[in-house]
Amino acid sequence: MDFEFKPLTLDMAASAKADALVVLWPDSPPAACVGSAGAGLLEWVQKVAKTGDLEDGVGKLVSATLGTQCVAGRLVVVRAGDGSAAALRKACLAAAATLRAAHVKKAMLFTGLLNVAPGGFRAASVAFAEATYVYSTTLSKGKTRYLKHLTVVQPESAGIEAELVQAQALVKGIELAKEWANRPANHATPTLLADAASKLDKMKHVRVEVLGPKEVAELGMGAFMAVAQGSYEPLRFIVIRYNGGSKQQAPVALVGKGITFDTGGISIKPAPEMDEMKFDMGGAASVLGAMQAIAELQPSINVVAVIPSCENMPDGRAIKPGDVVTSMSGQTIEILNTDAEGRLILCDALTYVAKLKPSTVIDVATLTGACVIALGHVRTGLFTASQLLAEQLMLAGEAVQDPCWRMPLDDEYGEGLKSNFADMANVAGRPGGAVSAAKFLQKFVGELNWAHLDIAGTAWKSGAAKGSTGRPVGLLVQYVLDEAARVQLAKAGLKAPKQAN
């Protein structure tokens, strides 16, 4: 989906050619507007608002055809509240859903009646893309994405174009993540995922390396190999480097769990909804999408993404409850539950990235059902020992409406990981399961500036809206952009602002 900006008044927008004109209506609408067509639109909206056709509440809307007052085939007026990014996202999701149902191809979005908050234009544009996204890869006739072009209009530019550039990159990254998370497991094997990552190698400052079973064995990734050994599909260890900073600059490391299908292994999952375990590589998909967006935006920073990818299957060679494996770090692990496999592949990936001496490590994983119970489907679970990193990630998430929530990491939560037969067990029981999983990963990061994002509740939706959300691509990209800005300010001897832009 493409975005552009044009400096137009409301009357000019009403006279411009488009399939639809969407007007964002503020809490405090203006009394008048310059231009006869603009004034006519205001009069019409004020009339329907008084009659109750335009209900109160952000996202409430009216849709109509006004003939000579609006050249566009359809006019949609939607309440956008106070102009905050969150309000604009809600309003534009509603408006875009109406346009999708009407098969609109080109739309104009008039924002000139609002005082749009920073990030609002980006939020509005991303919302239009989200509401009109369709998956079609494995459909014989496919589906059509009708809305392909959005023009944001208002009299003054006011930094809109910079936000639209970010929105364009974010949408590309989010939709790449959605594509690979949505694909059925037989169309998204570790090998195919590695092939998709390799395509990023053509982008400026990006280099991709893919390791197979032989190279992974040479590195001593015993935990990762243990999970992969039960599948016919060979594992892949994907490394994506974006070198936008100086050679001396320590990279930000992103690690994504890439279980392309999770049966649970010998500790097999119940059959109902097991099909949704194709989404268990949501962490890998989001890291892949984030790297796509970062490469589009070209920030002055180094980023390395690592994706350990395999299937978790109940083959005759599969790991068994009670088996003990040796991780890349040398620590041994008693596998009490083979369905707690994500942490096994992540622990070796964390050991690998530690050798790269990163400034920060953020791992992303659909790790625990316990996190869904704790936080539902609204906020991603955030685990870190660093107060500063927690604040930075939470601010980044709020800035792009991809929120997370900090969870505890008390040492007592790790007591259940003790084992009589290995250095640790891979599970610690049901109570506090999301925290004990994070405590397991913490054993492999040492003194690194590390955070773990549990996206089990936010990576996909079930039911009629079943599909990937593309989260947390927005959060990851915003954090990297913020970190790039902090690095540049530090070079100039200035202090970074506390709040993310």
Q: How far apart are CA 229 and CA 317, in angstroms?
A: 6
Q: What is the phi-psi region of residue 226: left when phi exceeds 0, alpha when psi lies from -120 to 50, beta otherwise?
A: alpha
Q: How far apart are CA 80 and CA 88, in angstroms?
A: 6
Through-space distance between the first and last CA atoms of the chain, rounded to whole angstroms = 24
Q: Which residue has the tokens 């243990």?
A: 226
Q: How far apart are CA 467 and CA 27, in angstroms?
A: 33
Q: How far apart are CA 356 and CA 215, in angstroms?
A: 17
**450-454 and 206-211 beta bridge pairing:** unpaired
Q: How many CA atoms lie within 13 A of 285 on its CB side?
A: 32
- Measured CA to CA in angstroms, residue 97 lies from 91, 94, 128, 380 at distances of 10, 5, 8, 25
For residue 102, give the nearest of 21, 36, 219, 177 by alpha carbon.
21
Q: Kindly report the backbone phi and psi dihedral angles of residue 122, in degrees, each rounded to the nearest multiple of 5, phi listed first.
A: -65, -45
Residue tagged active-site, from 74, 241, 257, 343: 343
DSSP 170: H
Residue 269 falls in the annotated catalytic set? yes
Residue tagged active-site, from 6, 269, 406, 461: 269
Instruction: Say if CB 128 and CB 96 are below 8 A apart.
Output: yes
Q: Cα 213 vs. chain centroid, distance in angstroms?
A: 29
Ordered DSSP codes for 282-350: HHHHHHHHHHHHHHHH--SSEEEEEEEEEEE---TTS--TT-EEE-TTS-EEE-S-TT--HHHHHHHHH
User: Counting Cβ atoms within 10 Å, is residue 494 exposed (0-12), middle (13-18) or buried (19+)?
Assistant: exposed
Instruction: Say if CB 107 and CB 128 are below 8 A apart.
Output: yes
Q: Is the dihedral of CA 51, 55, 58, 62 positive or negative?
A: negative
Active site residues: 269, 343
